[in-house]
Amino acid sequence: MKTFPEILLQRAQSSPDGTAYRFFQGASLVPQVLTFQRVWEESAALAALLQSRGLAGERVLLTCKSQRHFVIAFFACLMAGAVAVPTALPRRHALLERLRVLSRDAAFRALICDSDEVEPAHFDDAQAVSDCIDMRTWSARDDLQAMAASWTLPTLSGNDLAFLQYTSGSTGDPKGVMVSHGNLVNNCLAIGQGMQLDACSSVFTALPLFHDMGLIGGILQSMYTGCSASCMLPAEFVQYPERWLQIISRFGMTTSGGPNFMYQLAAQSIRDEGMAGLDLSSWSVAFCGAEPIRPEAIDAFVRRFAAVGFRPEAFYACYGMAESTLFITGAQRGAGLEVDQRDESAIVGCGHPRHDTQIAIVDPDSRQRLADGLVGEIWVQGSSVALGYWRRAELSEQYFHATIVGEGTQRYLRTGDLGYVSNGQLFVSGRLKDLIIHYGKKYLPQDIENEAERNHIALRESGGGAFSIADGDKQRTVLVFELKREWLRRHAEWPEVAASVRSAVTANLGLTLDEVLFIKPGALPRTSSGKVRRNQCRLDYLDGALARAEAP
């Protein structure tokens, strides 16, 4: 099995002038282009430096503002045999605290950055930052070609650690998932099989590159396949979502996507003038994952952009997580969305396992396999399952080495997600830790959130979090929801909105909400990929830290 250092070298030798990456920034749709040869040369030069500093096998923290710098730095770590630890820039207090947590946990030996926003004061051990490489000065050197010639291809096995992917922390503190070189190659193989990618494909991502979907699904997948990948800054997508579609249209991109909220934002915010001249007919794989897929949001996207060539069969639902590198299941390309109406919920099918991945639906308490159609915890087995959690042996044993009663010693990954299988296809229904139990009956928080959102126009789309808290010997069910900005002025009507939501949830779900709390737009805790952090929401509620909606 070839590892990514060998794959990158092969691409540089076979297609030196081929376009590997395009980087878009600002209003201009003229990208900065890197060829396969240039990617190899810059990465090999930096890898040679890392090797000369004895960093093979050591953790190297990557926090880059420039996507171009990040790509080179990540490949350099792989090519040096170092262990990359990608993370976001610490621009806000919450991100700064996360950076401190990561630095303590990873105990990194070196830092690669390109911003003055990263300082020694950000780390408990300032000595660790002494071995710091600034990509701004590094990339300007004129001896990179000579340095690349001194690079030595490391001897790597599939089980050698490639990087630490810190989880988004939607239900707990971030944990470093140990992703091996073999995991990366096998997961890219699975993605390529599921999406039917080839050298003629063109991948486009507007997702954070420090996150698994942007990094593996965008940057590494394209290198593995031998096709081009293009990137735009996530912040620019949020501010100007029409650029996402304009780039797909102008460059004939075939493969792009992200979480549900990207499609929802595009459908709601792109005006008619932003659609002028669009042609989305090349877009054959519009993947959607990382958070629950809402059929109504996808339908709205189809209705909005069908006139400019978008086809509903292009939608590609998928399911995955960092603990299985990225990808676990994916739909049949060209099949569009399959929706199962179960009780009050419309659940989108996330396809079938690919490559050598296997899934089982298991009763989380008895650890016995469940029959098709029954809801249980999703367990995963295969070469994409990561090695475990960094420096957390007990937790790794609990989640990565689970066994099914009566089925021998085969090890599975416990995902913590709930779902069921129907006709061989996986349907994901929620998170085990997020379950709300009310008088013995189990409720999925997203069912409560969706019911509330459908009931009243005052609530922001996908802006709710439902959870339960202990109150003596009882459990109280709380729903917090972001209000739309225009409703902040209509505070006299808030009690009526809350009463309407309570009534709808009781009538349609049989659940009585103990409290409905309105918060400011954007105040709901989320992960870097947009998922609601319900446990953090609960903690913030208990601490009184949620930004409550206030009349202006």
DSSP state of 381: E
The strand order across the sheet containing 425-431 reads 358-362, 376-381, 413-422, 425-431
Q: What pLDDT shows up at residue 240? A: 92
39 Rama class: left (phi>0) / alpha (psi -120 to 50) / beta:
alpha
**Residue boundaries of the structural domains of the chain:** 4-235, 435-543
Dihedral angle computed from the Cα positions of residues 435, 437, 441 and 447, in that order, rounded to the nearest 10 degrees: -40
- Take residue 550 and report the two structure tokens written for it: 């206030």
- Take residue 16 and report the two structure tokens written for it: 């030196």
| Alpha-carbon distances of 548 from 92, 321, 540, 551, rounded to whole Å | 20, 32, 11, 10
Per DSSP bridges, beta strands 285-288 and 255-258 are parallel
Contact in structure between 331 and 316 (CB atoms under 8 Å): yes
- What is the H or E stretch that residue 186 is in? helix 181-195
The C-alpha atoms of residue 287 and residue 181 are separated, in whole angstroms, by 24
Nearest to 190 by CA among 11, 334, 312, 320: 320
Residue that the structure tokens 């639902």 belong to: 317
Per DSSP bridges, beta strands 19-24 and 228-232 are parallel
Query: In CATH, which superfamily holds the domain spanning 4-235?
Result: ANL, N-terminal domain (3.40.50.12780)
**Is domain 435-543 annotated with CATH 3.30.300.30?**
yes
Contact in structure between 316 and 288 (CB atoms under 8 Å): yes
Q: What pLDDT shows up at residue 168? A: 62
| Alpha-carbon distances of 358 from 62, 292, 326, 331, 425, rounded to whole Å | 33, 21, 14, 15, 12
* CB hemisphere CA count around 516 (13 angstroms): 24
| Sheet strands (E) in 151-251 | 161-166, 176-180, 202-205, 228-232
> pLDDT tens track of the chain, all 552 residues?
899 999 999 999 999 999 999 999 988 889 999 999 999 999 999 999 999 999 999 999 999 999 999 999 999 999 999 999 998 877 666 667 777 778 788 888 899 988 776 766 666 655 555 688 889 988 888 888 899 999 999 999 999 999 999 986 544 567 899 999 999 999 999 999 999 999 999 999 999 999 899 999 999 999 999 999 999 999 899 899 999 999 999 999 999 999 888 998 999 899 998 899 999 999 999 999 877 788 888 999 999 999 999 999 999 999 999 999 999 999 999 999 999 987 667 889 999 999 999 999 999 999 999 999 999 999 999 999 999 999 999 999 999 999 999 999 999 999 999 999 999 999 998 888 888 877 667 788 888 998 899 889 999 988 999 998 877 667 889 999 999 989 988 888 899 999 999 988 988 888 889 999 999 998 999 876 677 888 889 889 988 989 998 877
Dihedral angle computed from the Cα positions of residues 328, 106, 134 and 99, in that order, rounded to the nearest 10 degrees: 80
Helix (H, G, I), strand (E, B) or coil at 365: coil
The C-alpha atoms of residue 411 and residue 158 are separated, in whole angstroms, by 18
The C-alpha atoms of residue 349 and residue 155 are separated, in whole angstroms, by 41
Contact in structure between 218 and 229 (CB atoms under 8 Å): yes
